[in-house]
Structures are given as C-alpha cells and as structure tokens.
Structure 1
Amino acid sequence: MQNKLWEDMGLAGKRAILVHHDDLGMTEAGNRAYLELGFPTGSVMAPGAWAPQIRTGDLGVHLVLTSEWAFPRMRPLTGESSLTDAQGYFWPTLEAAWQHIDPGDAERELRAQMVFLQRLGLDITHIDTHMGAVLRPDLAEVYARLALEFRVPALWTDDFHARGLPRDMADALARIMAEFPLPAVRLVDTYAVAAEDRAAWYVDTLTRLGPGVYHLIHHAAVPTPEAQRLPDWERRYADFAALRHPDVRRALGEFVLLTYREVRDALRRYLP
C-alpha cells in the first residue's frame, strides 16, 4: 500500500524526508529547540511535564511505556499496574517493560495518552514510540490498531530485519505490518553518532541517500541547566547545533521536506 500512497503523493523516484523531533514535552530545553529550529514535525510525550507547552505544528504522539532516566521520570496517565515499577513509574528499560506489560493495560494507557493530547488541542498527525517499546509483537498490534482507530500514520520502518532485532521478532513485525494499511518509511537515526561527529555525519549520510521516503529521528535540545541533567545532553545539543549548520541545511534542502500532516491526509483517502 505504501508504494501506491507515495506515488499518489507525487513522491515516486524522489527523495523525501520527515525531519522528526522526538521527546517533545519531556523537557523545556527540547521544546525550545523545536521552536527555534523551525522544522514543524515532531511528537509529544503526554506524560511529560512540558507536554502542554507544545500544541501547534505537525505534531504526533510519542507513545510512552518506559521511563529511562532518573530525571525526569514519568508515570502512566492510567492506573494500570503492569505498566509500573514499585515506585509507580514506567519501567526504566525495554527488558523490564516487555517482561511485565499486559497488552490490555498498554492499550488503555496509549489511548489515554492520545486522548489527553487531543484535549489539549493537539491535531494528531501521527504516532510513534518512545524507545521502541511497542515493538513487542502483541504491543505492535495495539499500536497499529490505535493508528487505524485515530486514522493517522504510525511510524513503521520498511525493513525490520535491518534494525538489529531478533529474527523471530522481525518476522512477526513484518507480518503485522503487512496486515495493516499503514505506510512505511526508511529510518535515519542520529542517536548513536558521537556528538563531535554529528554535523559531518548528517551531511555525509543525507548526501548518500537514494530515492525514498525517510524519517530522520533527532532529539535536539538547547544547552540549559535542565537539559544538562540528562545523561545524553551533549548528543541532544549536537543535534540542535547540526540542524542549524548551513551545510546540513543545504543537504536537507535537496529533499522534499515532507510533513506527517500531508501523509495523514493522503492516507485517510484509503481508510474508512
């Protein structure tokens, strides 16, 4: 289905990119970077303390089932017990989350996060997932169902087998993706790149990409004292600095700069 969608959007044979700001709502520093950079696409964490600050733009829901840092920690919006550790916070690791989470509890929580942001005035354009927590196959089915319920695209990669997942998990996810009429993209993820190499990596990577629809994940944040409490703050600031760099801007300018609102509106022509 996705190839037909991209063709209908006039993207066949072109290089298109969604410059996607992850983790909005977690810190004010991330929100400030979003507002200063001017790229409209990102996703908001409903349990984050700063979620109400970002309401307009090409914004989706960054669905949360884990709380990885000692600061800031996040709690579910619902009271579902399988989602939390002994202190009542989301599980800090994927391993712990996948060991404990009941899919029914997860579905109620993830729907609550979407409804909460809608009530704040967010026009949800898509959904994606914090730390890949929905990649457990039964949770992936919940994720896909919610996308169809709200009639929005979900972040799906076009090749789970290239993401370093166990083969049985990748096979299961590919089967689930094939069952749902949702578009798939090619991931470009900056996170593992050293902070000092970030700008050069952006230019080199973007220049080498061939035709396709790409989802570029970044976590830009300005270097405030709040941001500097995060263990990975240097990488977040490196994204912010790189995305302001003229060479990176020129490389991005060679793509069709796509929004999820455009994808959502095109997708809805295929959905009931």
Structure 2
Amino acid sequence: MSNERLVIINADDFGMCHATNQAISRLLEKGVIDSTSIMVTCPWVLEAAAFVKQNPKTDVGIHLTFTSEWEHYKWGPLNSQLSTLIHEFGYFPAATETVVANANPEEIREEAIAQIEFALRMGMDLTHIDNHMGSIYHVTEILLDLCETYRLPLRFSKLSGMFLQHPRHQEMVKLAEEKGVLLLDHFEMLPFSLPAGEKASYANTKETVIRTIKALKPGLTEIVFHPSRDTKELKAITDTWQLRSFEYEVFRDKEVIRLLQKEGIRVVTWREIRDQQRSL
C-alpha cells in the first residue's frame, strides 16, 4: 500500500431538515467539502435536490434510510406497503435494532431500490452508497448487489473503523472484491455524544477534528460529520443540535482547512472512487 494519506470529507443527512440543508449547501458552495449523502425519505429532500440540480458536480451519495430516530420529527418509506419496515403509525422505527430484528430482507431490498431510483429520477449523479445509522449492514449481500447493479462504491472499511466490528467483516470484504465494489481502507465519524461530565463546546469539537486529521493512516479514509446551522428548527428536532452546529463551524475554520495541507493529506471525492470502480 502507498504511504499517501487520502481523505474524503462527507457531510451526512442532506435533506434531513432545513438547518442541515443550509449548512451542507454552504460548505459545498465554499468548496470546504466536496461530498455529501442524501436522505430521500425526509421532508426537506426537495430543497437538497434543488441544490444538487443547480450544482450538478456536487458529489452526492445515497444515504439509504430505514430509521427515523427523533421523537417528534418523523419520516417513513417511499413504499408505504412494506409492512415490516414501519411502526404502527407508518414511520420508520427509531432504532437500528428494530430494523435488524423485524425487517424482511426482501422489503429492505425493495425500499433501497426505490430510494436509489427516486434520487436518479431527480437527476442526481450518485457517487456512492451508505446507510443511515448502519441499519441495514446486516444484509450484506443486498448492499453489495445494489453496489454492483448501480456500479457504486460502498461506505465500508477494510482496515480500521467501526466496520471491523461487523460479524461478517472479512466475508464482506472478500465478496466486495469478487463483485468489483470498491471500499474504504479506514473510517472515522465525529461523535454524537461526549464522555460523561464533558460539555459540548466549539473548542472540544475543533480539538477532535484536528486530532482525527493528524491521526489519519496511509490509504483512503472517509471522515463523516453531521453539520447543521444553529436554529430553532434544529433545537426542536434533536438534542444533538450543539454538536451539529459546532461541526458546521469547525469545517469552516481556516486552521482546520490549512491543517490538511500542512499534514500533506490529499482530499479526494467519492466520484473519483466511483469512476475508478467503473473503469475496472
């Protein structure tokens, strides 16, 4: 393996709400980040899709969604007839564990295809596949079938990161190689919660980002974060609003931007990885 350190910086949850759309759009417009993942089942997806249409070079992946985690702000499947994917009121369940325990794999496949096709019909040139809250990584064959069919790489890491805890990790890596699906070497996601007794602050978030960047290993790493603007809407949706707003501000910080250059880290895009996969 080359000793070069490559990084994709990806903003998740595009389409989730207006505050998130504003943050991600501004980061993309400023060229601070090049990659995002869209949730096509969410109420604000049309605003996100309009941005992508106006900015067709936007690097956008499909954030396959099967959970709806907030108490008072919900979304459900594009196909409402898929009964094992929803709770009593027709929304996705809040927890990944519920999907794993109850969802019929073929209904997962059908809904995933519906979400991908919806994004394509909206004119998006999808660059990769990933999954909100990791709710469907247990159906490994389905995910890799979708990647093979749509010729898209997958958010799944081979050498480090939370995906190494997947019970079928080595099998997943081997099957991806057989199907010609490209994966990450490493994966990093900024935390949603803090250690007990530690308060959210801009300084702490910035320190975490700087530490993560400096510790990047040789190979391809994706850093995932969840930026949003600090608004009344966001505060009404989630108690993680502070961390999300700090993440938005940190990736606009000139010191953080300069650090990538100082460390000799090359920023790449999912589009480059997708195009490499399609050329194999």
TM-score, normalised on structure 2? Answer: 0.86
Deviation of 1:157 (Å)? 1.1
**Alignment pair present for 1:29 and 2:39:** no
Alignment of structure 1 residues 49-88 onto 2, 5 Å: 49-55=43-49, 56=52, 57-78=58-79, 79-88=81-90
Check whether the contact 1:203–1:247 (CA below 8 A) recurs between aligned residues. no
Aligned to 1:267: 277
Q: CA-to-partner distance for each residue in 1:61-93, whole Å, 9 max, x for gaps? A: 100111111132111001211101111111110
Identity %: 26
Which whole-Å CA distance do the structure 1 matches of 2:7 and 2:230 have between them? 26
- 1:249 aligned to 245, 252, 257, which one? 257
Q: CA-to-partner distance for each residue in 1:136-194, whole Å, 9 max, x for gaps? A: 1xx2211111111111111111147854736x444554454454322221111102464
Which whole-Å CA distance do the structure 2 matches of 1:180 and 1:64 have between them? 23
Which whole-Å CA distance do the structure 2 matches of 1:125 and 1:174 have between them? 19
Alignment of structure 1 residues 173-212 onto 2, 5 Å: 173-185=172-184, 186-192=186-192, 194=194, 195-196=200-201, 197-212=204-219
Alignment of structure 1 residues 194-233 onto 2, 5 Å: 194=194, 195-196=200-201, 197-229=204-236, 230-233=238-241
SS of the aligned residue for 1:60 comes to strand
Which whole-Å CA distance do the structure 2 matches of 1:208 and 1:215 have between them? 13
Check whether the contact 2:158–2:164 (CA below 8 A) recurs between aligned residues. no
Aligned to 1:97: 99
Cα 1:21–1:96 change in 2 (3 A) is same
Cα 1:161–1:40 change in 2 (3 A) is closer
Which whole-Å CA distance do the structure 1 matches of 2:105 and 2:159 have between them? 24
Aligned to 1:146: 146
Gap regions ≥5 residues in structure 2 = 53-57, 195-199
Aligned to 2:55: none
Which whole-Å CA distance do the structure 2 matches of 1:243 and 1:161 have between them? 21
Which whole-Å CA distance do the structure 2 matches of 1:66 and 1:159 have between them? 27
Q: CA-to-partner distance for each residue in 1:80-110, whole Å, 9 max, x for gaps? A: 1110111111111011111101110000000
Q: CA-to-partner distance for each residue in 1:4-58, whole Å, 9 max, x for gaps? A: xxxxxxxx32111111010110111111111111312011001011112223210
SS of the aligned residue for 1:46 comes to coil
Which whole-Å CA distance do the structure 1 matches of 2:179 and 2:268 have between them? 22
Check whether the contact 1:160–1:173 (CA below 8 A) recurs between aligned residues. no
Q: CA-to-partner distance for each residue in 1:222-260, whole Å, 9 max, x for gaps? A: 001111121211111111111111221112333211111
Check whether the contact 1:161–1:171 (CA below 8 A) recurs between aligned residues. no
How many residues align structurally?
A: 257
Which whole-Å CA distance do the structure 2 matches of 1:25 and 1:209 have between them? 29
Which whole-Å CA distance do the structure 2 matches of 1:157 and 1:244 have between them? 27
- 1:113 aligned to 112, 115, 122, which one? 115
Q: Which amino acid aligns with 1:107?
A: R
Which whole-Å CA distance do the structure 1 matches of 2:125 and 2:163 have between them? 30
TM-score, normalised on structure 1? Answer: 0.88
Q: Which amino acid aligns with 1:147?
A: C
Cα 1:176–1:71 change in 2 (3 A) is farther
